[in-house]
Amino acid sequence: MENEKSNDVLHVVMFPFFAFGHISPFVQLANKLASHDVKVSFFTASGNASRVKSMLNSAPTTHIVPLTIPQVEGLPPGAESTAELTPVTAELLKVGLDLMQPQIRTLLTHLKPHFVLFDFAQEWLPKMADELGIKTVFYSVFVALSTAFLTCPARVPEPKKYPTLEDMKKPPPGFPNTSITSVKTFEARDFLYIFKSFHGGPTVYDRVLSGLKGCSAILAKTCSQMEGPYIEYVKAQFNKPVFLVGPVVPDPPSGKLEERWSSWLNKFEAGTVIYCSFGSETFLKDEQIKELALGLEQTGLPFFLVLNFPANVDFSVELNRALPEGFLERVKDKGIIHSGWVQQQHILAHSSVGCYVCHAGFSSVIEALVNDCQVVMLPQKGDQFLNAKLVSGDMKAGVEVNRRDEDGYFGKEDIKEAVEMVMVEIDKQPGKLIRENQKKWKEFLLNKDIQCKFIEDLVQEMMAMAKVSST
């Protein structure tokens, strides 16, 4: 590796946490930066390198730097991303990251980039980089609302005096006046996770706050059109530059949709099929699967349901236990239930697909909007609860499934009502307004001039901060 720091080539290191929900947005941004002649060194655990390579666009200025995770008691050998671990053992990846500081220091000393774009778990990085004369950017892969509601200084006004469940149901002091005035009990309970310490390490809140306070600038995967009030609140809370990369619209997929799926989808009228998926690391409980499946059936619309289960279980056995007796026979002509990876972007882009029922991961929401799909959200954890409120409340571009306050229970009627609001009752409010707004956001997201300007502005702001001359 050569030190290529110069006055005319902006060099950034990308260093996401070892979870593909974090790695993917870093890769998307790396590809956008590379297209603007930015040199990118992408740090990831060696076990993730081949998958990251397949996601990165081939560019002479982009290269992967494989990292070695030190041995951590309890962390299975070779497990180098959260996809291979349970939520409990995944916490040990943060311990591994903390032990990598000497390795990272050596690499940064050698590479001498202008910036390191880092993630929530590496709160020690700003101090290290500062000692080496390198600027740092905390790249939040979550919407600004998530930072504003959960991880700003106002949330914990007194050190280590963490909030109660009741505190977490309300926004922090000074929060902007928007549609988000409270959250449900089961959501607030989930948020309390960020104040827990695992293996004697810092809490997520403390890691995030330390990283945000220590960095040279904050980079948010959002834009003022979607989140103006929350961006201004974050700026006021941290009193430092907040760069915006925009919502980072994915490039259209290459290749074709598998014949077995395209031939099935071709049987149905345009915009009538419901596609339903919650990502590879979300495993629904039996009761949730049953109510979800029955709710989709009761809409009377064709549906493509993707369900995932832990790696060590048998899909057919789990499915037979969770689904009502006779369900698969009843829906065989208009319903597919599949487990495992599918070409999601290709499916959403198919003309017959008109609705996407998802966990409200923001990348999933963006994929739905750009592919002209109505968004029905059933968030499962963390920032997904806030994403759903942003999209349904502020943007009014989707509908959130109704849930019970205490435990988040939903029934088949809740699924049916949410889908029908945007797929059947299209001339009634609020379905009509949601569909109109979905079209407006689609036009905004697909405006290449707007989306390209986000990256151009970001590169110019980073060049100015690093005092790199433009060529």
Q: Which of these, 270, 226, 250, lies nearest to 446 by C-alpha position?
A: 250
Number of residues in the chain: 471
Answer whether 139's CB lies under 8 Å from 219's CB: yes
pLDDT at 281: 75
pLDDT at 313: 79
CATH topology of domain 11-250+447-468: Rossmann fold (3.40.50)
pLDDT at 426: 86
* Residue 306 backbone dihedrals phi, psi, to 5 degrees: -105, 120
pLDDT at 469: 60
* CA-to-CA dists, residue 61 to 34, 36, 57, 222, 249, angstroms: 7, 10, 10, 26, 22
CATH 3.40.50.2000 in the chain, residue ranges: 11-250+447-468, 259-446
Residue 7: Cβ-neighbour burial (10 angstroms; 0-12, 13-18, 19+): exposed
- CA gap 285, 146 in Å, rounded: 26
Answer whether 362's CB lies under 8 Å from 247's CB: yes
* Residue 58 backbone dihedrals phi, psi, to 5 degrees: -70, 120
Candidates 11, 98, 114, 119; catalytic one: 119
pLDDT at 4: 46
- CA gap 69, 350 in Å, rounded: 41
pLDDT at 471: 47
The terminus-to-terminus CA distance of the chain in angstroms comes to 24
Answer whether 214's CB lies under 8 Å from 123's CB: yes
pLDDT at 83: 82
Q: Is 119 an annotated catalytic residue?
A: yes
- CA gap 338, 6 in Å, rounded: 51
CATH architecture of 259-446: 3-Layer(aba) Sandwich (3.40)
pLDDT at 94: 92
Residue 442, number of CB atoms within 10 A of its CB: 17
Flag whether the pTM goes above 0.85: yes
- CA gap 441, 213 in Å, rounded: 33
pLDDT at 85: 84
Identity of the residue numbered 123: E
Q: Is 383 an annotated catalytic residue?
A: no
Structure tokens at 236: 């006021």
Q: Which residues of the chain have pLDDT under 50?
A: 1-5, 471
Identity of the residue numbered 125: L
Residue 195, number of CB atoms within 10 A of its CB: 17
Q: Which of these, 217, 203, 6, lies nearest to 121 by C-alpha position?
A: 203
